[in-house]
Amino acid sequence: AQKVTQAQTEISVVEKEDVTLDCVYETRDTTYYLFWYKQPPSGELVFLIRRNSFDEQNEISGRYSWNFQKSTSSFNFTITASQVVDSAVYFCALSEAYGGATNKLIFGTGTLLAVQP
């Protein structure tokens, strides 16, 4: 069965610190997609990144970087030099792609990141 685990319920850091949010997933399929979404205090869900199971290259976007390791079934998210505006709940999600017709997202429970000034 599919499952996404975000073991860190809450993280608190001081501005300018680096912080890594962990995500571990379970799936029996060889083709799947992983996502990160951000939910700021205003409540909307904002897409951050999508990664397919065949692409293990790490990705960097500004202060954000993602480390995908199939060997440990992990897709961790690092924010460098955190800012107060990064305060939000971050969700990791998994979707399988078999059959080409289904793209249901299975979400983790989220990690609440609080960045203190």
Q: Residue 17 Cβ, how far from another protein at the closest point, in Å? A: 27
Among 88, 95, 111, 115, binds another protein (CB under 8 A): 95
Q: Do 74 and 56 contact (CB within 8 A), yes or no?
A: no
| φ, ψ for residue 71, nearest 5 deg | -60, -30
CA 74-40-90 angle, to 5 degrees, is 10
Among 110, 111, 113, 115, binds another protein (CB under 8 A): 110
Contact window for another protein (CB under 8 A) among 7-15, 16-24, 80-88, 95-103: 95-103
The burial class, CB within 10 Å (0-12 / 13-18 / 19+), for 112 is middle
Residue numbers of the site for another protein (CB under 8 A)? 31-33, 35, 37, 43-47, 50, 52, 91, 95-97, 100-105, 107-110
